[in-house]
Structure formats: C-alpha cells, structure tokens
Amino acid sequence: MKQELRDAYAEPHRRYHDIHHIEACLRELAARDGLAPDERKVLEYAIWWHDAIYDPTRSDNEERSAALAERDLMELGVDPATREAVVRLIRLTRDHKVAPGDRLGTLLVSIDLSVLGRPAAEYDAYAAAIRAEYAHVPDEMYRTGRAAVLRRFLATPVIYPDAEYRLRYEAQARANMAREIAQLET
C-alpha cells in the first residue's frame, strides 16, 4: 500500500484505529474462504482505506476516508467499478448497517466489528485504546456517550450480519459490551 496510507495509520493520536487494527482485519479476511479474487481485492482495499482518515473530534471520517480511497485508487489505476465498490463499503463502516443480500458489506462490517467478540482481556485493551483516542472528552461525557453507543449495538437483533461471525463472536460481544456498560456506570 501507499506509504502515506501507512503513515496515516501511524498518527500519534491513534490508539485503536491504527495499523494493528488494519492487520487484524486483513487476517480475518485471509481466513475467510469462498471469495472470488475480485471480491477479495475489493475487501482488501476497503479494509486498508476504511479508517485512513481518523480524527476523533470529527463525525465525517468515513466519508473523508472514502474520498481518499477514490482518489488513491484512481491514481493506482484501479478500475471504476472496483473503486465504486470500495467507496460504498467504506461508507458502511459509519453505522455498520448492511442491506439484506449485501454479501461484501456483510463481511466487511463483521470483520470491522470482530474486536467486540474477542476474549475479555483483548476487548478490554480495545476499550482502553478507544478511551485513549477520546482523551479530549471529559470522563462523564465519555462514559455517557460510550454507553449509548454500546447500548445501540446491544439493541440490534444481531451485531454481526455475517452468519459465521455471528456464531463465532455474537455471544462474547454482547457479554463484553454489557460488562463495559456496567463499568462505565460505576
């Protein structure tokens, strides 16, 4: 990938949304069977660019990352259909909502959220890294806002739209988020 993309993931304010997150997502993708080479390439690009721009004080990171992907992939000579697919997938990571039948969207969203279903110690490290990224937010506001985000996930019928991810991670993700909410409220 482009050096400037790697540099973006090394920005000092990133504690979770860094190169380690991208590498973890790429490992998840590599472990997935049943994808055509062109599908895998679209997902690889989407993973690489989905958090390319990450400023925790802004709400348009996904849109800006999508625009950067469009520009960079055009410069790399990637065909328009692939660029369009990548941009669409990146935009899905804003709210993690996927339309029924969206196979690649289902997989990208599930990969992006896989950290939620990790063992408790890994999840706790993730939660601490997210807090560090939002160090500019006062504790009370952070606890209230973070708990609201977690409750929104818990209120959905499924966290992982992909069935394999749901089987592997759903129960642990719900337990992790419920535990974090309890900690935030104490």
Supply the pLDDT for residue 100.
Answer: 92
Supply the pLDDT for residue 108.
Answer: 98
**What mean pLDDT is reported for the chain?**
97
Q: Name the domain boundary from 79, 112, 145.
A: 112
Supply angle C-alpha 163, 151, 23, rounded to 5: 55
Q: Name the domain boundary from 112, 146, 162.
A: 112
Alpha helices in the chain (DSSP H): 3-8, 19-30, 37-49, 61-75, 80-92, 103-112, 120-133, 139-155, 163-184
177 band by pLDDT with thresholds 50, 70 and 90: very high
- Alpha carbon distances (Å) from 119 to 7, 70, 82: 29, 35, 35
Predicted confidence (pLDDT) at residue 128 exceeds the cutoff of 80? yes
Indicate whether 24 and 56 sit together in one domain. Answer: yes
**Stretch 115-135: mean pLDDT:** 98
**Stretch 126-133: mean pLDDT:** 98
Domain housing 99 = 1-112
Render pLDDT for 9-67 as a digit per residue (tens, 0 to 9).
Answer: 999 999 999 999 999 999 999 999 999 999 999 999 999 999 999 999 999 999 999 99
* Rounded-to-integer distance, Cα 138 and Cα 48, Å: 31
**Stretch 73-97: mean pLDDT:** 97
Q: Name the domain boundary from 112, 140, 158.
A: 112
Indicate whether 49 and 106 sit together in one domain. Answer: yes
Predicted confidence (pLDDT) at residue 157 exceeds the cutoff of 70? yes
Paired tokens of 133: 């990224």
